[in-house]
Structure 1
């Protein structure tokens, strides 16, 4: 199969799974192995995720502009500092620090040891169960306007756990948000916003690796996959926000556990290689 056809499949897979709490990085590691394509690599995964974050920027463009503008105004005008948008600007910045620091500090480990399929299968199951428990006990008593510095940092730490493929950036952030009592829509919306700096920074940081001989795909297939992930991801955002307004995360929990268990069984049977 040509690199571009593989890029089409992987880009669509990224777009489908980035915003659902099921770990896009796990899917980009598992399914190429099932198809016999091998590991596309951490650099390809990071760069393709930029496409889905552009979808977030476009979908939430009004919110993002308001947050950015109010935050900038608050730097010089005290009357803006108490506004929710200004506080959200600071919360997103502070919440992005944990994943940024850990991502740089453990770059080599993240790109090698943590991409082991035994670990990914296990984290899919364990963090899926965590999501299920968090969603069940969450009290639905807080909206985004109730966000505090402490809660923003806690959700930032949770997001950092997604440096391990299989955890899920949105899943970890949503789980923490639900445990803190935030509504599903509020936790999900904030998870999308919080991911923007981390994902864009990771993609830019990994871009030089695309040209290296160790990368499975060159620039053209990678860019193609990124565009595909943007188109598919935009549609998924709209669908998910409608879905969670009336449904729980239970289907995603079940899917994670089944996928994780399936990966572990295939590894034990020798069908997959870690």
Structure 2
């Protein structure tokens, strides 16, 4: 890979991984608009590692408290809000983990069409707009109930449909159950940690069975750029939604989805 390809792919991955705009929809455009060859599994793993590092660093204090409190709860010292949040993140990950493992090949081979991505961008984008437009909730990620977690976890499984956006659908479900915009976004970001680990793990398994040579410098640069762009994305997204809500992303999704449908199918 040349350096321009490394930079573009890393930044697109880092930003679109956490914005409610669908990373699959954006990454599919790269080979269409350029003559670049497929970057390979090794580079995909590197980009996921960068995104994972960014969210862990950004929420390092919350994650540390969740780990410490979970260990304390296991040892019989009681369950506090941090241990409960860790449990909620785990439970909400189960549906997407099971369905992703069962249907991974079906989704990767039969559902990555621009038609599905275009309609998913528009349909789930409008749903996000409705959830954000209706009466604003006030609950944070620490005030979730089991019913809320099951709804959000079930919704997250829909993100396996290309164009849906994992962050978009989880934020939509969280808003619908009465969470605040910031609380919904923060819980969505915490949910991304086990999901990225699962996705990166699947790619790493494929990498073990591959025999391609690895460009370690490109991988290191991709990891770094993906991580920095993802960290900045998380930070500024939380700032933007406090002032503007989700509507700018809804408008972008609808316009982008309509353009994809027009460009590829009309």
Name the TM-score, length of structure 2 as normaliser. 0.91
| In structure 2, C-alpha distance between the alignment counterparts of 1:167 and 1:268, rounded to whole Å | 19
1:114 equivalent to 2:111? Answer: yes
Q: Which residue of 2 aligns with 1:77?
A: 76
Q: Which residue of 1 aligns with 2:60?
A: 61
Task: Give the C-alpha shift of residue 47 in structure 1.
Answer: 5.2
For the residue of structure 1 that corresponds to 2:28, the secondary structure is helix
1:27 equivalent to 2:55? Answer: no
| In structure 2, C-alpha distance between the alignment counterparts of 1:219 and 1:73, rounded to whole Å | 43
1:151 equivalent to 2:132? Answer: no
1:208 to 205, 208, 232: 205
Deviations 1:99-134 (A, max 9, x none): 110110011012221211111111111111110011
Task: Tell me if the contact between 2:129 and 2:247 (Cα under 8 Å) persists in the aligned partners.
Answer: yes
Task: Tell me if the contact between 1:43 and 1:209 (Cα under 8 Å) persists in the aligned partners.
Answer: no
Instruction: List alignment gaps of at least 5 residues for structure 2.
Output: none
With over 3 angstroms needed to count, the CA separation of the structure-2 counterparts of 1:72 and 1:211, relative to structure 1, is closer
Q: Which residue of 1 aligns with 2:249?
A: 252
2:138 to 119, 136, 141: 141
For the residue of structure 2 that corresponds to 1:141, the secondary structure is coil
| In structure 2, C-alpha distance between the alignment counterparts of 1:65 and 1:109, rounded to whole Å | 37
For the residue of structure 1 that corresponds to 2:243, the secondary structure is coil
Name the stretch that deviates more: 41-50 or 260-269: 41-50
| In structure 2, C-alpha distance between the alignment counterparts of 1:38 and 1:143, rounded to whole Å | 44
1:130 equivalent to 2:127? Answer: yes
For the residue of structure 1 that corresponds to 2:178, the secondary structure is coil
Q: Which residue of 2 aligns with 1:100?
A: 97
Q: Which residue of 2 aligns with 1:13?
A: 12
Q: Which residue of 2 aligns with 1:240?
A: 237
With over 3 angstroms needed to count, the CA separation of the structure-2 counterparts of 1:219 and 1:155, relative to structure 1, is farther
Q: Which residue of 1 aligns with 2:184?
A: 187
| In structure 2, C-alpha distance between the alignment counterparts of 1:212 and 1:121, rounded to whole Å | 33
| In structure 1, C-alpha distance between the alignment counterparts of 2:215 and 2:181, rounded to whole Å | 37
Task: Give the C-alpha shift of residue 214 in structure 1.
Answer: 10
| In structure 2, C-alpha distance between the alignment counterparts of 1:170 and 1:92, rounded to whole Å | 14
Task: Give the C-alpha shift of residue 19 in structure 1.
Answer: 1.3
1:86 equivalent to 2:98? Answer: no
Name the stretch that deviates more: 172-181 or 151-160: 151-160
Name the TM-score, length of structure 1 as normaliser. 0.89
With over 3 angstroms needed to count, the CA separation of the structure-2 counterparts of 1:199 and 1:249, relative to structure 1, is same
| In structure 2, C-alpha distance between the alignment counterparts of 1:30 and 1:235, rounded to whole Å | 23
| In structure 2, C-alpha distance between the alignment counterparts of 1:17 and 1:27, rounded to whole Å | 7
| In structure 2, C-alpha distance between the alignment counterparts of 1:243 and 1:43, rounded to whole Å | 33
Instruction: List alignment gaps of at least 5 residues for structure 1.
Output: 270-274
Aligned residues: 265
4+ residue runs over 3 A deviation: 36-47, 210-215, 217-224
